[in-house]
């Protein structure tokens, strides 16, 4: 058994994992973004649980608004970018399977 603390204060940090999956937290400040046109995980699915804030996901050229409580699956190989569009930071909890980092 392993436990990890999610602080919601780190810009991006891998919390831990195993050979099969990995957990991370991400905080994006208003107006900022993570990823980009060439950002992809060629071997890993990425689950993003939106903890707080508002944002937008750009996945394979399609825009999706993000808000607290949403769970988003970015499948392996999909190009993606996540942007904070609200007045407060966008906080997410992420699972990669298998590990991406």
pLDDT at 9: 77
Maximum CA extent, the chain: 39
pLDDT at 20: 97
pLDDT digits (tens, 9 = 90+) for 13-61: 999 999 999 999 999 999 999 998 899 999 999 999 999 999 999 999 9
> pTM of the entire structure?
0.91
pLDDT digits (tens, 9 = 90+) for 56-79: 999 999 999 999 999 999 999 999
pLDDT at 30: 97
Residue 94, pLDDT above cutoff 80? yes
* Measured distance CA(79)–CA(10) in Å, rounded: 23
Residue 7, pLDDT above cutoff 90? no
Three-state SS string over the chain comes to CCCCCCCCCCCEEEEEECCCCEEEEEEECCCCEEECCCCCCCCCEEEEEEEECEEEEEECCEEEEEECCCEEEECCCCCEEEEECCCCCEEEEEEEECCCC
């Amino acid at each position: 058994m392993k436990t990890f603390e999610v602080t919601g204060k780190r810009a991006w940090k891998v919390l831990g994992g195993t050979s099969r999956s990995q957990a991370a937290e991400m905080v994006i400040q208003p107006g900022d973004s993570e990823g980009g046109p060439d950002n992809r995980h060629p071997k890993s699915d990425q689950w993003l649980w939106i903890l707080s804030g508002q944002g937008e996901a750009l996945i394979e050229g399609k825009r999706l608004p993000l808000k607290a409580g949403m769970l988003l699956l970015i499948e392996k190989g999909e190009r993606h970018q996540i942007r904070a569009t609200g007045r407060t930071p966008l906080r997410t909890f992420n699972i990669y399977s298998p590990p991406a980092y």
